[in-house]
Chain A
Amino acid sequence: MVSFLHTADWQIGMKASRVADVAERVRKARLDTAKQLIRIASQLQVDFVLIAGDLFENNLVHNEAAHRVAEALSACSPIPVYVLPGNHDPLTADSIYSRSAFTDFLPPNVHILRTSEPVTPVPGVVLLPAPVMSKESYNDPTGQFQIPEDIQEDTIVVGIAHGSLRIPGKFQENDFPIALDAAQRLGLDYLALGHWHSFYVHNDMRTVYAGTHEPTGFDGQCSASAAHVTIKARGSSPDIERLDTGTLTWQTLEVSVAGDPDQVVSRVKHEVDKAQDPSSTLLRLVLKGHAESDDLRWLEELEDWLRTSLLYMEIDKSRFITRPVGRRLRQLAAGNLFLQSIISDLADIACLLGQPIEDLPEDLVSAGGSGSSLIDDSLQDSLDRWRIEAEDVEEALRTLASIAEEVLS
């Protein structure tokens, strides 16, 4: 019987420009989770650990990241750790696995699988590695496996590779395609795969993606997982236990705005309160529907609260229709031809730019200042020259409302 931990796609040094403000924190989380996983391996007292590719995001990550990884891996000593180079950190000329700043720090229990030569991690088990040598390949990496001719019948055979299973619609030909029957055809007891970030067990029940250990975005495609595998004997079905890992929570919350905005605020706050650790939560709030009023102070307050409570938050307002000309601005503009003229001009410009202002009161449109439109070739030229866009017009209306309130109240 053999027991091992299968993980992959740590991608240390990953880019997080989507959440640039907290990018360092996101990167740190990947390393923290890796350390956590190594601790689990020690606790489980596994025979060895397999990292099926993409330990690093890129071969040219900082030395500091390399040192941290080496440090993390040394934590499970003496359990051997086998690291397979993936398509993000292939064994190319610039490989990090050739950099002394990494290799000099590696403890003896960590082994880089540089060739396809079979390895014996523990007696009775043979490990067939398929290291990645390039960024992309049309070849099935399992084709590299070199099964020893003199292998004993009871030796458990484990393959480790990095690529895409040839599941229709889920792979590309140049993305290290792996035959679906590779494990069966090659007589493997277990095929440890990396490359896909979600946990996946193929229907042969021995071809497994462990998934990435830490989610990478709001899309929910990442599983934050690893696999604890136990194989009792050669030919027996492996016992695969999914381990849920992860330090950060990437949450997407869709909320419809209708009626009293306080209800929206309460709901969002309630959802956030449910989070185990708000300071490790990244939230994407999607607002839908129409604002009843031009008074959006509730939203500003909610934004402030979320920003304070969470590690990161962003609000998608693309489906949330606001009212740039609200009741207050209308009141201020009543009887003020100058103000009315400007509002009307902005409405004209919004039309000109192809995004008419919704819900613009008729009285403001018809009031139209002096009654004559300012739209002419000269203004159009100016708009082009200044690169004015429709959203600038809405911003101008909001700014006008704010200044008018400040000056005229």
Chain B
Amino acid sequence: MILRSLTVSGLRCFRNPAQLNDFSEGINIIHGPNESGKSTLITGLALAFLDRHDMTGEAIEAFRPWGTSLSPVINAEFTFGGKRYCLEKGFLDNTRSTLSEWDGRRYQRLDEGKAADNKVRRMMQAEFSGRGLSKNTQWGLAHLLWMPQGADRFHSLSLAEPGIEDYFRQAMGATLFSKEDDKLLGSISKRYSGIFTPKTGGFKANSEVSLAEQEVKTAKERLDSVVRDLEAIREAETDLLLQNSRLEELEADSAKLKQERKALKGRIDRIRELESQRNTMKAQLQSATQAWETVKKEWQQVDNLKKTIAAAESEIAQKEKAIIPLNADCDEASKELNSKRATEKDLEKDIKETNQEFQKANDLQQAKNRLESVAHLASQVQSARDLNTKLADLEKELSKQPCPGIADVKSAEKSKSLVDAREAEARAQGLAIDVTAYSDFNMTVSTSEEEKTYTIRPDEPLSLASADRMTLDIRGLGRIEIRSGSADVKKLLKQIAEEKKALKEILDKYGVATLSDLKERYDWGLKQNLQLNTLRENLQTTLGPGNTLRLLESRLQKEEKALQEQCSGLGVTQEELAKAEAPDVDVLKNRLDGLNTQRDELVKEVSELDKLEKSLSKQVAKLEQEISNLRTSDETSRGELKRRLEPYDSDEEKLKSVLADKEKEKTNKENELAKLEKLIPKNAAELERGALKLDREIKKLDEETIPEVRDSRAVLRGKLDEAGNRGLYSEAVQCEEALEIAQGKYQVALKKAQAIRLLHYLGLTRKSQLLDALTEPIRDEATRIFQLITDSPGRSIELRPDLQLEGIRVGEEDSRAIGTMEEFSIGTQEQLMMSVRLALGHFLGQVERQLVVLDDPLVNTDSDRLQRILRLLEAASETLQIVILTCHIDSYQDISGKRFDIRETTL
């Protein structure tokens, strides 16, 4: 298709019709400044060729010129398939579509309405959108060959729509992958997608093969379960046989053990009899031994008594000899002790007299000391009383006049300062009047602050100022009252009044009239307080730390009383006491100490002598007591000896004879016991244990093991009965048969699925291969153009089988380094997209000259590349009609072709 003329109106910036006639079959350059409507022309072209005329909605409404109710109308003349057509299309309020064909003399109406739309759409190999404007990908040939403005130009091309793919296939002269092939593969794919998941290629859960597989699995699980049960039954059967034979063995074991136990019991009974005899013998032996031991003990007692009597007699003789010298020493010590005690008594009397003398002298000395102390204390109390009186006077004076604190003084100063400052500010903002006299006159001026009378003379002009009001009273002439209406001044005056009120409150508090009076009062108060503090410090010093006047007075009274008592005790008056001579206390004290020392030494000696005398007396008494005890014991032993020998007729020899008889009897019994011990086997205890062990084993067998085996047998028997009643084998048979059926189904379904999987894989692979072969020439041509533009032979364009742009390969063909679009500059990207479009145009133009639209295509291209592109465009215009829209006409001055100035197209 090539474009011959284009007229648009009622379309965005084209309120009035714009017409472009006599398009060249080669290159056409539509130029104009920005916003002049170049791209709108292309939009109009797309609307005419690619959208329904009766379209409604916001998308088409947006094409009305702004602020008008005009409707888009587009007329285009074009050639297609060697025939010339005219398409008249109106939208919205001018809805119409008419396609006419040139018959050599004039246009003959061919189709109208939808038929006309569809016919043109088919010429463009395009698809209509379901609603609204058609998408770029639905534009058919225009999608491949028109390069729009902005980011859309970088969108990858696609053969996604079936119409264009088919046309493309025809244009390439290819019969490799036909529509029928598509249908065939589509049918295979449909079946495939019914069986397999698109992501993993696994069977779909609801596919026939999955369901059959699940059925097999379920049947198998059921069979396995039954088979396991059957195996368990087989095991139970084997177990039962084992348990039967075990039970027989256990019962035989039990019988055998019982027999063994019987034999063992016989032996044990015999041993028990012998053991009884042995025990009797042991008792007899014990009795004989006891009798022998009693006699033997008696003999030993007699012998010991004899020895005891001899030893006591010897000891008494020794002690009587030792007591004589001890008695002599004791008498001598007693005499010396009595002498020392008489001396001690005399010394005690002397000490008592000296001590009384010393006490009297000491009391006199203490009374004199107190007399001095009372005089000092009385003086101190008097001084304190004087200071206290002065303090009271001063405090009384201070309390009569209130003194301000520093805070009040500062607050008053601040208020005064604020009043002054704000009054000055008020005056500055308030009224200012200059008065000049032509002749002398008097004038009384009243302001809010003061009232004053001035005499005004012609040569002495007067300047007056006031905050808010001023009254000029010129006697004999009249009265002028001036008021300020300023809000600021009123605000200031209000603040001044508040501050003055605050200042007055402080002054009133202390009964003063002015701030200076307040300060004077403050200074006086400060001075009085200083004096008061000094008096207080002096009083504290006079009283001493921690004392009060009352305390001191109390202490003075106590001391005076104590002194009075001491004087009474001594029998003197205070005056006599003051006159009395001070006694020599130290001489009396030394004398008393000497006497005390003598007495202590004497007491020590008396004590030692007393101890010696008592010790000697104690030794004598002890020896006398021991001798007495020994004599008593000796008499007891002799009585005991006599008593013990009495049963033996007081004959010691007879006692010896009885002892020999008893020993013989004991020996006989021992011999008999030894004989019995030999008869009793040594392992008797072992036999007993063996018997007990047998009892336990038999008990365990009869009461535990055999019942356990019987129980176990019953359980196994129960299992077998249960399996029988359940018909376990029949169940297994049914499961096996069900599995067989399920497996059969699964095999059939699997076979079908496998076939579809194979066909799907092969179909897709072959389609990809064939399409790859189809797009290869495009890829080569685009690469050639791109290399020419960029002057970079090392780069090649990579396209996917559906013409989607994969990227740019840098380097050899087998290189894996494919750069995506985003990795290159905007300029390179637009050159790349132009290369692909020119390559497509090259092949599509071989069928019929095609319209290529490039909307401001080379704005980011440098001048060298631009020149090379212009040359390529010139070459391409041999088979293509190229429409370039640009605002840079200078860039295209070296290229031949028809030029349209958009500003001159308006009718």
Contacts and interface: CB of A to CB of B under 8 A. Distances in A.
Interface of A: 13-18, 20-21, 23, 57-65, 92-94, 96, 99, 101, 336-339, 341-342, 345-346, 349, 369-370, 372, 374, 382, 386-389, 391-393, 395-396, 398-400, 403-404, 406-408
A10 to B, nearest CB: 15
Contacts of B762: 341-342, 345-346, 374
B183 A407 contact: yes
B766 A388 contact: no
Given A13-B733, A92-B237, A99-B721, A60 B727 contact: yes
A113 to B, nearest CB: 20
B755 A60 contact: no
Interface of B: 175-178, 180-181, 183-185, 187-188, 191, 230, 233, 236-237, 240-241, 716-717, 720-721, 723-731, 733-734, 736-741, 744, 751-752, 754-759, 761-763, 765-767, 769-770, 773
B737 A396 contact: no
Contacts of A63: 724-725, 727
Contact of B181 (A15, A339, A349, A389): A339
Contact of B729 (A59, A369, A407): A59
A395 B769 CA distance: 24
Contact of B740 (A17, A346, A374): A17
Contacts of A372: 769
A62 B730 contact: yes
Contacts of B758: 346, 349, 388, 392-393, 396
Contacts of B191: 403
Given A15-B737, A346-B762, A60 B767 contact: no
A315 to B, nearest CB: 13
A403 B762 CA distance: 15
Given A60-B233, A342-B762, A20 B740 contact: yes
- Complex A-B, nearest 8 residue pairs according to Cβ-Cβ distance, in ascending order: A62-B727, A60-B729, A58-B729, A396-B755, A20-B740, A20-B737, A392-B754, A338-B181
A336 to B, nearest CB: 7
A337 B180 CA distance: 11
Contacts of A13: 727, 729-730, 733
Given A94-B723, A96-B724, A386 B757 contact: yes
Nearest to B190: A403
B766 A338 contact: yes
Residue of B176, B184, B191 ringed by the most chain A CB atoms within 10 A: B184
Given A400-B759, A408-B180, A374 B765 contact: yes
Given A393-B758, A399-B759, A65 B730 contact: yes
Nearest to B756: A399
Contact of A21 (B734, B736, B741, B761): B741
A293 to B, nearest CB: 20
Contacts of B725: 63, 99, 101
Highest count of chain B CB atoms <10 Å: which of A59, A338, A342: A338
B770 A61 contact: no
A13 B726 CA distance: 13
Contacts, number: 155
Nearest to B183: A407
Given A94-B237, A396-B754, 7 more contacts: A59-B724, A60-B724, A60-B729, A64-B727, A338-B763, A338-B767, A393-B758
Contacts of A396: 754-756, 758-759
A330 to B, nearest CB: 15
Contacts of B230: 60
A39 B720 CA distance: 34
Given A15-B736, A94-B724, A338 B730 contact: no
Contacts of B729: 13, 57-61
B737 A17 contact: yes
B766 A345 contact: yes
B181 A93 contact: no
A93 B241 contact: yes
A139 B272 CA distance: 58
Contacts of A58: 729-730
A339 to B, nearest CB: 7
Contacts of A404: 184
Given A20-B737, A23-B737, A336-B178, A399 B773 contact: no
Contacts of A16: 733, 737
Contacts of A99: 721, 724-725
Contact of B184 (A15, A338, A382, A392): A338
A396 B755 CA distance: 4
B720 A93 contact: yes
22 contacts: A15-B733, A16-B737, A60-B729, A61-B730, A63-B727, A64-B727, A93-B237, A93-B241, A93-B716, A94-B724, A96-B724, A336-B178, A337-B770, A339-B184, A345-B766, A374-B762, A386-B757, A388-B754, A392-B758, A396-B756, A399-B756, A399-B759
B736 A17 contact: yes
Given A60-B724, A338-B767, A396-B758, A407 B733 contact: no
A372 B759 CA distance: 17
Given A20-B740, A403-B187, A60 B756 contact: no
A337 B756 CA distance: 19
A180 B171 CA distance: 92
A338 B176 contact: yes
B164 to A, nearest CB: 20
A382 B184 CA distance: 23
A407 B766 contact: no
A217 to B, nearest CB: 14
Contact of B770 (A370, A387, A388): A370
A317 to B, nearest CB: 13
Nearest to A61: B730
Contacts of B727: 13, 60-65
B668 to A, nearest CB: 74
A20 B184 contact: no
Contacts of B181: 336, 338-339
A395 B752 contact: yes
